[in-house]
Amino acid sequence: MNIIVKEELKAYIDPLTPDEHDALERSILAEGCRDALVLWGDVLVDGHNRYGICQKHGLPFQTIQHPHFKSMEDVHLWMIDQHLGRRSVSDFQRGVLALRKKEILTERRQRRMAESAEQLAAAPGEAGAAEPAADAPWEGAAELPPVPALNTREAVARAARLSASQVQQIEKIQKSAAPELVAAVRSGEVSLNTAATVAALPVEEQQAVVAAGKDEIKQAAKRVRQSKAKPKEAGEGGEEKLNSAGLPPVTAESATEAQIKALQARVAELETENAALRAQLAALQG
């Protein structure tokens, strides 16, 4: 059997974590590959991890054809729906998938409306000519069930089993978060709310905060929230004093214990360097 693995389909859904992949491999070695791989012609659509494990260990597997796919869009929508229904998918992943589905459906709707307009323009005034529904299936794909529109944030939230505010947070993360912050959300290290808040910082500061660890990420989110809740400090001439993140500068009142310790450590380092330089200067003078 000639099975084609397309990298774009393999990477379309977030990969399993190493622990999840190891657990799947142990299950297949103990019980065999129980679920059939889904194909579209020769193209592997679902079961990339199972296929790789079976190939690695020379284990048999079953395949089934999905008869209703008419385009790669249909494949993508099916893959998204499959993963939206799985309990192991995180809130962030479900939100990303639902937003991706919305994008596909929006593009499909716009394309069909453009095609319908072209048809009407080509045959003006033709009796009985009616504009097809924007969500009508492609010609020849009547077997596929209709796909509900996702034209509002609430509809996306229902598809992802999330709240509208969570979807809004995911949109902020996708738009403004540094790759390191996105990775922290995907791994479950930080919550959606915290990541969306920290995403308001410049990218360089996000990267520094993530590198400092989970506690510092939470502290950064706290500082951002406080800056929005309190009046901004006014400087000379009534101008606001803000740092590069658009936040008030750190003061003795707002500094965290970690920041104070870091500053104290830096002062100690500078004092040591100064002492060493003075010793070198004295040696040269002598």
**Both tokens assigned to 218:** 């939470």
43-46/63-65 β-pairing:
unpaired
* 264 assigned to some structural domain: no
8 Å CB contact between 61 and 33: yes
Shared domain for 52 and 27, answered yes or no, is yes
Secondary structure in 3-state letters for 156-214:
HHHHHCCCHHHHHHHHHHHHHCCHHHHHHHHCCCCCHHHHHHHCCCCHHHHHHHHHHCH
Structural domain span for residue 186: 177-231
Q: What is the pLDDT of residue 243?
A: 55
Shared domain for 220 and 181, answered yes or no, is yes
Instruction: Indicate the residue type of 256.
Output: T
* 283 assigned to some structural domain: no
Cβ neighbours of 249 (radius 10 Å): 11
Could you report the per-residue pLDDT of 224-277, keeping only the tens digit for each?
999 887 655 545 454 555 555 555 554 444 445 556 666 676 777 777 877 777
Q: How far apart are CA 165 and CA 25, in angstroms?
A: 37
Q: What is the pLDDT of residue 247?
A: 55
Shared domain for 145 and 221, answered yes or no, is no
* 106 assigned to some structural domain: yes
Shared domain for 144 and 217, answered yes or no, is no
Q: How far apart are CA 63 and CA 231, in angstroms?
A: 63
Q: What is the pLDDT of residue 149?
A: 67
What DSSP letter does each residue of 204-246 carry, written as one string?
HHHHHHHHH-HHHHHHHHHHHHHHHHSPPPB-GGG-B---TTS
* 127 assigned to some structural domain: no
Shared domain for 145 and 73, answered yes or no, is yes
267 phi/psi in degrees, rounded to 5: -60, -45
Shared domain for 142 and 205, answered yes or no, is no
Shared domain for 111 and 50, answered yes or no, is no
Q: Tell me which residue of 229, 193, 223, 194 sits closest to 210, measured CA to CA.
A: 194
Mapped onto helix, strand or coil, the DSSP state of residue 259 is helix
Q: What is the pLDDT of residue 260?
A: 64
* 258 assigned to some structural domain: no
Q: How far apart are CA 186 and CA 191, in angstroms?
A: 9
Given strand 37-40, what is the order of strands in its sheet? 43-46, 37-40, 63-65
* 128 assigned to some structural domain: no
Mapped onto helix, strand or coil, the DSSP state of residue 276 is helix
Shared domain for 74 and 154, answered yes or no, is yes
Tally of structural domains, the chain? 3
Of the candidates 211, 231, 251, which is a domain's last residue? 231
* 249 assigned to some structural domain: no
Could you report the per-residue pLDDT of 120-139, keeping only the tens digit for each?
887 765 544 444 444 444 34
pLDDT by 10-residue block (mean), the chain, 286 residues: 90 88 96 95 95 96 92 94 86 93 90 84 58 42 54 89 94 94 91 94 92 91 87 51 53 53 70 78 73
**Both tokens assigned to 246:** 């658009």
Q: How far apart are CA 165 and CA 188, in angstroms?
A: 18
Shared domain for 10 and 88, answered yes or no, is no
pTM: 0.67
Q: What is the pLDDT of residue 196?
A: 95
Instruction: Indicate the residue type of 189.
Output: E
Q: What is the pLDDT of residue 269?
A: 74
* 22 assigned to some structural domain: yes
Shared domain for 109 and 153, answered yes or no, is yes
